Amino acid sequence: MAIGFPQCPLVKAWSYSRLGTYQSCPLKFKLTAIDKMEEPKGPAMERGNVIHGLAEAYLKGEKKTLPKELKLQEGVFKDLRARIKKAPHLVEVEQMWGFTSDWQLTRWDNWTGCWLRVKLDVAHVDEPTNTVVITDWKTGKFRPDNLQDYVKQLGLYGLAALLKYEHLGPTLKVQPRLVYLDNPTIYQGGSEEPLTFVPKDVAKLKKLWEKEVKPLFNDRVFAPKPNQWCGWCHFRKDNGGPCQY
Ligand code: SF4
């Protein structure tokens, strides 16, 4: 079912992080995603990239021992390594999934047809329970004031995996999790039971995300939206940037 998104001459595709940038400041989104202006990477981002690289190298067997930076989640890493050793076809590491605007799977590098790109660190299938677990590595602090955003992100992973693993049938379950590497937190939706998505959630989740991204695809102005992060924004006025704030 095509959702009838207006063809936007400026924006062809979105991702969770791009949407987040748009929602915090449409001008910043335009400068980075449309005008392709680069922001220098800060030390926290550089460090995050290095740690993600270590996690990938360990899971792919390129590092024999667990790097010290990953020790706080030793149990998670050991479990995933064991799963890869036993059944490598059931674990995908460092993936980018692509979807068209009518939610069909496509290649992420389908430059004309890919509408949503979902980047994830690990997806593994637990065969006995027919459950797909999506793992997103996080560096930095777990922010209890940000739970709404975390749940939203888990919901997008849930939808993407329900579509990608549809062939696992009506008993399929998807459990996404945010695994923190700088503290021992694993966030799975906040309650005692992990947030679990099942095939009957697909229609509701599609509708929710279509509504969420509509402003981005309808925008033609991309106005600045001053916010508490302006002082750190590369494009701010007193940094010589193009923004008036
Ligand atoms: S300085 Fe603030 S308003 Fe201007 S582009 Fe950056 S985030 Fe947006």
CA atoms within 13 A on the CB side of 150: 24
The H or E element spanning position 148 is: helix 147-164
- What crossing angle do the helices spanning 202-218 and 16-24 adopt, rounded to 10°? 50
Query: How would you classify the pairing of strands 116-126 and 186-187?
Result: unpaired
Distance of CA 94 to the CA centre of its chain: 11
Give me the chain's average pLDDT, please. Answer: 94
Ligand 1 mean position, distance from CA 133 (Å): 36
The mean pLDDT of 46-59, rounded to a whole number, is 96
CA 13 – CA 87 distance, rounded (Å): 34
Locate the ligand 1 atom nearest the alpha carbon of residue 227 and give its number.
2
Dihedral angle sign, alpha carbons of residues 58, 185, 204, 167: positive
Ligand 1 mean position, distance from CA 241 (Å): 9
Locate the ligand 1 atom nearest the alpha carbon of residue 243 and give its number.
4
Q: In which band, very low, low, confident or very high, does the pLDDT at 9 lie, cut at 50, 70 and 90?
A: confident
Q: In which band, very low, low, confident or very high, does the pLDDT at 68 lie, cut at 50, 70 and 90?
A: very high
The mean pLDDT of 127-144, rounded to a whole number, is 95
Q: In which band, very low, low, confident or very high, does the pLDDT at 10 lie, cut at 50, 70 and 90?
A: confident
CATH number for 16-214+228-239: choose from 3.30.420, 1.20.120, 3.90.320, 3.30.70.
3.90.320
Q: In which band, very low, low, confident or very high, does the pLDDT at 2 lie, cut at 50, 70 and 90?
A: very low
Neighbours of 239 (CB within 10 A): 11
Q: In which band, very low, low, confident or very high, does the pLDDT at 67 lie, cut at 50, 70 and 90?
A: very high
Ligand 1 mean position, distance from CA 23 (Å): 12
pLDDT of residue 119 exceeding 70, the answer is yes
